[in-house]
């Protein structure tokens, strides 16, 4: 058998093509790999966000190109009682709904974490409120809260005879506000419950076994094992939940459209109302932009307050 070998000088003269060399060039490769992601982010995130922020500094209306007006939109909003009302209700809505969703969602997750018959089926059913399109569930709640045809009123008035008149869920400010919060909690529980259930299932049973051997009570096991171990996922889920709740639109718009007396406007619904229905695109954008500081604050609070608790990282970790 004969072996043909290339001389060392031939090897030295054989250069890879320019294309190969280009792709071997690390900075170029990094740019090429990142380009699609950067392109997508630019087109679908940066541009709309940038345009929104730009519009907030203009007096653009529907059908009329605007001009730069500086902070005029924001200055007006500071004098607008409806904007302040929307800020107030957005905070109340987010606070109460998030608390309700976490309390009930965590409780549900703990229940679902136990072994019981038809476990998988029940877990799937729990997801239903989350799967149903928001507008559909909003329409259902709209009927439930209807002043004349509410099923709740029907039960209380016509079946149980506990009341003499229908409940006016949406006819005055605070009942309407709490009715919407209840609808949001109902809709949000599955997301929290399933997310936290996933977290619960990552906790090693050996921790509980060890605790039980040490004589820890159920509360102590929850307090010193479950809760600390769940903190990272709690922080992430809560961050998402706060963002989703604070920016909620569909439930409120489909059920009350911000009424009665503008008492149930969230910043998102007010932004739509002013920007699209009212045609004041600049002002609507300013309202939308005004949500950003609240969202950043909520995210940072959630992140630093929950995810980076010192005791999670060990006592000596400074």
Partner 1 sequence: MRNDITRRDALALGLSAATFAATGAAAQTSTIKAADVPTPKREIEKGATLRMLRPVRFVQADEDVFRANAAKFTKETGVEVKVDFVGWEDINQQTAVTSNSGAGPDIIIGFSDAPHIYIDKLVELTDVADYLGKRYGGWLPLAQRYGKKNKSDAWIGLPFGATAGPLIYRKSILQSVGFDKVPEDHAGILDLCQKLHKAGKPAGFALGNAKGDGNGFANWALWSHNASLLDEEGNVIINSKETIAALNWVKQIYPTFIAGTTSWNDVSNNRAYSSQEISLTANGVSLYFSLKNDPATKAIADDSEHQLLPKGLAKVSPMAGLTLNAMLFKHSQYPNAAKAFLQFMLEKDQYEPWLNANSGYWSQPLAAYAEAAVWKGDPKVSIFKDTMNSTYYDGYKGPISTATGAVSADYVLIQMCSAVATGAATPEAAAAEAEQRCKRYFRRQR
2 vs 259: CA distance, rounded Å: 92
Among 25, 47, 99, 149, binds partner 1 (CB under 8 A): 149
Cβ at position 172, least distance to partner 1 in Å: 5
Site string for partner 1, 242-261 (x = CB under 8 A): --------------xxxxxx
- Count of residues near partner 1 by CB under 8 A: 40
User: Count of alpha carbons within 13 Å of 194, Cβ hemisphere only?
Assistant: 17
Among 128, 147, 209, 300, binds partner 1 (CB under 8 A): 147
> Of 240, 257, 275, 266, which Cα lies nearest the Cα of 138?
257
160 vs 153: CA distance, rounded Å: 10
312 vs 232: CA distance, rounded Å: 9
207 vs 226: CA distance, rounded Å: 9
The angle at the Cα of 275, spanning 274 to 281, to the nearest 5 degrees, equals: 130
Query: Nearer to partner 1 by C-beta: 27 or 63?
Result: 63
Residue 273 binding partner 1, by CB under 8 A: yes
CB 241 within 8 A of CB 191: yes
Among 62, 78, 103, 300, binds partner 1 (CB under 8 A): 62
Among 274, 286, 288, 291, binds partner 1 (CB under 8 A): 274
> Of 45, 99, 93, which Cα lies nearest the Cα of 264?
93
Site string for partner 1, 81-120 (x = CB under 8 A): xx--------------------------------------
Tokens 């500094």 sit on residue: 57
Cβ at position 48, least distance to partner 1 in Å: 16
Cβ at position 103, least distance to partner 1 in Å: 28
Q: Which residues bind partner 1 (CB under 8 A)?
A: 59, 61-64, 76, 79-82, 145-149, 165-166, 168-173, 176, 256-263, 273-274, 276-280, 283
């Amino acid at each position: 058998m004969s072996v043909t070998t290339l001389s060392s000088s031939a090897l030295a003269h054989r250069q890879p093509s320019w294309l190969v060399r280009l792709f071997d060039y690390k900075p170029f490769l990094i740019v090429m790999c990142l380009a699609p992601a950067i392109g997508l982010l630019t087109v679908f995130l940066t541009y709309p966000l940038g345009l929104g922020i730009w519009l907030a500094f203009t007096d653009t209306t529907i059908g009329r190109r605007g001009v730069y007006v500086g902070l005029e939109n924001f200055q007006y909003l500071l004098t607008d009682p409806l904007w302040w009302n929307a800020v107030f209700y957005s905070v109340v809505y987010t606070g109460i709904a998030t608390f309700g969703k976490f309390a009930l969602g965590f409780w549900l997750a703990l229940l679902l974490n136990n072994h019981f018959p038809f476990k998988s089926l029940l877990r799937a059913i729990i997801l239903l409120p989350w799967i149903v399109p928001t507008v559909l569930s909003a329409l259902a709640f709209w009927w439930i809260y209807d002043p004349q045809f509410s099923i709740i009123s029907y039960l209380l008035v016509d079946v149980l005879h506990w009341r003499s008149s229908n409940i006016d869920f949406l006819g005055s400010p605070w009942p309407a506000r709490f009715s919407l919060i209840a609808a949001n909690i109902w809709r949000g529980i599955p997301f929290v419950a399933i997310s936290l259930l996933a977290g619960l299932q990552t906790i090693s049973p050996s921790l509980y076994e060890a605790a039980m051997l040490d004589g820890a009570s159920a509360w102590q096991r929850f307090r010193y094992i479950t809760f600390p171990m769940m903190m990272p996922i709690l922080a992430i889920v809560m961050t998402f939940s706060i963002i989703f709740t604070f920016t909620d639109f569909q439930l409120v718009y489909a059920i009350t459209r911000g009424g009665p007396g503008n008492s149930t406007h969230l910043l998102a619904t007010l932004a739509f109302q002013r920007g699209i229905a009212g045609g004041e695109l600049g002002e609507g954008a300013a309202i939308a932009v005004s949500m950003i500081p609240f969202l950043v604050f909520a995210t940072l609070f959630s992140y630093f307050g929950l995810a980076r608790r010192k005791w999670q990282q060990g006592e000596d970790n400074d």
